[in-house]
Structure 1
């Protein structure tokens, strides 16, 4: 609909002219105000005519607005496809170079990878974010996206396959102590893999960890905020360590810390095999409102080289499997919570 005071005259003429013309008549200049049916062979226009009825002509042309727009869009799409193709090739080359770098040097700091490739850290992060990337960025390090097998990661814990059932029992019991909204520290170790898997999936949690295998499990959970502490990567335990990470952990307010141990002795306390883990475990215990130890019964009475805590600091100790009578008597004064295997 046209407003009052506007006049429209359409003329399908002068098709040879490849342009639109509007004419000035009298004292008023006609204003080209709009287009209608742009895909047709003629264009209908209307003019603002306040004081008098001015006559104007719409000169049609064979190349319609629709055709011009289509050409413009096709040109733009063609350029976009060329840019996308070039971008994909550049990303593929960067991934190949990153793969070569990781194969030769192992997990490498994100900043060093970006420096080697001559791009920004954000570019590297975007390259690694796609589902088809063979690499990942964890804790500020670029590393293989596929996790190595357990025996490769834990050369000091070769008995993993012999205690899987008891470890799972201990972790399922400990997972019952987690409540919705908790902020957790989850330790490293083959035992804690089962703990991360046992957490109820619907719970809203915040999780702090420093182990790659734990992060890989927790990162797939919905409603979970993950904080992965960074530093130097230790393949023997699949963990990261740095003084800065320990300091940062001390500033966090986790309310529950779940720790593993290679040994739990009444006199010698909780111990592990890797000395670099000690400072992280101790910082987690200091930061947490409550600390829990999670072990299978084979760890009771054992001592590993690196002591990290006396047993009386733990609110509860989840034990998978039933200890023998001598061990039960020895640990009688401690808050052991034994998860026995089902009777078959």
Structure 2
């Protein structure tokens, strides 16, 4: 590796120590070179910095974790997720348009909606869409794009604009990490755009997260805690973030 490459990698490592992740385009701009040059620098480096979903992260960063796989997560905290979704569903009113996030946390929510006759569900998650399609009283809006098998969800650059055009009463959001300083995060960077769009479009933003997600940081940060109107969690009240309205264990 030449000296200029080493200086660029050192600069990027310093930036990542503060910010956690950098989009490849941001890294190139910061160093005043092309994205291809950054890729070459990484290939010549010692593996300290890696690309993950188009974003640069430090391999040793505690926020960096093996990729989330929906099938692996399906049975984890299953009873807690059902109980949380039952409480979250109490917020729903007939005639609502709901955004339902991807992952396994919110899957039980669809079953809680079965008794409604005038609901519209917006989602980018295939597993959620399949569940909604089985209920004739629920109207489905499936956001498309490139399919990501690990999370059974879609990603597209235009998705945020599509969501912004919809009238959403309530956005039900999931997160792999809920941290008092670092906010809400997930494993996959393609999920950030639809999550951000739903937060911006919805009248009420509801985060459903079991206790294992609290205090955790994942690679793709998508919101501040203050952007959430209500946190539904089974964590003890002493562990819940301050300043955020919460539904604690009954």
Q: Is structure 2 residue 249 aligned with structure 1 residue 339?
A: yes
Displacement of 1:201? 2.1
Contact 2:230 2:245 in 1 (8 A): yes
What 5-or-longer segments of structure 1 have no aligned partner? 1-152
- Output aligned runs, 1:205-220, within 5 Å: 205-220=119-134
Contact 1:171 1:194 in 2 (8 A): yes
Match of 2:228 in 1: 314
Contact 1:263 1:300 in 2 (8 A): yes
Match of 1:255 in 2: 169
Aligned counterparts of 1:266 and 1:157: Cα–Cα separation in 2: 28
Contact 2:70 2:104 in 1 (8 A): no
Displacement of 1:334? 1.8
Aligned counterparts of 1:218 and 1:258: Cα–Cα separation in 2: 14
Match of 1:169 in 2: 83
What 5-or-longer segments of structure 2 have no aligned partner? 1-66
Q: Which structure 1 residue ranges, 4+ long, deviate > 4 Å from structure 2?
A: none
1:323 to 233, 236, 242: 236
Displacement of 1:200? 4.1
Contact 1:202 1:222 in 2 (8 A): no
Select the structure with the greater relative contact order (CA < 8 A; seq sep ≥ 6).
2
Displacement of 1:257? 0.6
Aligned counterparts of 1:225 and 1:311: Cα–Cα separation in 2: 30
Structure 1 residues 237 and 274: alpha-carbon distance in aligned structure 2, compared to 1, 3 A threshold: same
Contact 2:70 2:103 in 1 (8 A): no
Deviation sequence 1:2-28 (CA, Å, 0-9, x none): xxxxxxxxxxxxxxxxxxxxxxxxxxx
Contact 1:154 1:236 in 2 (8 A): yes
TM-score, L = length of structure 2: 0.69
Count of residue pairs brought into register by the alignment: 184
Deviation sequence 1:83-137 (CA, Å, 0-9, x none): xxxxxxxxxxxxxxxxxxxxxxxxxxxxxxxxxxxxxxxxxxxxxxxxxxxxxxx
- Output aligned runs, 1:103-118, within 5 Å: none
1:224 to 130, 138, 143: 138
Deviation sequence 1:253-300 (CA, Å, 0-9, x none): 111111000011111111100000001100111111111101111111
Deviation sequence 1:151-194 (CA, Å, 0-9, x none): xx952783542311111111111111000000111100110111
Match of 2:198 in 1: 284
Aligned counterparts of 1:293 and 1:312: Cα–Cα separation in 2: 11
Structure index of larger Rg: 1
TM-score, L = length of structure 1: 0.51
Cα RMSD (Å): 1.9
Displacement of 1:309? 0.5
